[in-house]
Amino acid sequence: MITLPNVVISGRRLLKTQTLYKRYKLGFEGERFTGELLNQLMKDGCEVFHDVPMEGYNVDHVVVAKQGVFAIETKTRRKRKDAGREKAQVRFDGKMLHWPDGSRNDYGIQNAVDRAAGLSQLLSDTTGEPVQAVPVLEHFPSNLGRLICTCVVLSVRS
């Protein structure tokens, strides 16, 4: 028998599942877009790798270039519909990300640093030479399928 509590519970579950699906889809779109942009670097002689498996996690993208090795962590967020390109920019002050809505946080920074450190260790162990991967955090504010890239190259502080 269908009762009001069953309908409410089912509706909540459906809404939660739909929200989760939208977040995964948005993340996938950001990573795919990043991958497509990075693949263009192969024309310049770079090696580009995507979704590199590590122990317990993955590195979203790795670029090996003459300038160095870059471990790229991609994060995607929705932007306000009325925000144009200039209003969708994320600023990095060396410690925190400053979002267009005025909020500040360190979302993704530690992930990018940790993944670059893990990649550095793996490559150093594998090659027998010291390799220092540069952490890069890429944020995509997205609206209606139009992605705008904000790329932050993080310096590793000792």
Domain carrying residue 26: 4-153
Mean pLDDT of the chain: 79
Residue with tokens 């995607």: 76
Stated pTM of the model: 0.74
**What is d(CA 88, CA 149) in angstroms, rounded to the nearest whole number?**
9
Looking at the 3D structure of the chain, how many domains does it have?
A: 1
Within a domain: 142: yes
Q: What is the pLDDT of residue 87?
A: 61
Within a domain: 62: yes
Nearest CA-CA partner of 75 in 138, 9, 29:
138
Within a domain: 91: yes
Within a domain: 88: yes
Mean pLDDT of 88-117: 81
Mean pLDDT of 64-75: 90
Residue 30 clears pLDDT 50, i.e. is over it: yes
DSSP string, 17-79: HHHHHHHHHHHHHHHHHHHHHHHGGGGGT-EEEEEEEETTEEEEEEEEETTEEEEEEEEEEE-
Within a domain: 30: yes
Q: Are residues 32 and 15 in contact, defined by beta-carbon separation less than 8 angstroms?
A: no
Mean pLDDT of 39-64: 93
Within a domain: 53: yes
pLDDT digits (tens, 9 = 90+) for 129-144: 999 999 888 876 543 3
Within a domain: 158: no
Q: Which residues pair with 152 in a beta bridge?
A: 137
For the domain that residue 87 is a member of, what is the CATH number? 3.40.1350
Residue 145 clears pLDDT 50, i.e. is over it: no
**83 phi/psi in degrees, rounded to 5:** -85, 125
Question: What proportion of the chain, given as a percentage, has pLDDT over 90?
Answer: 31
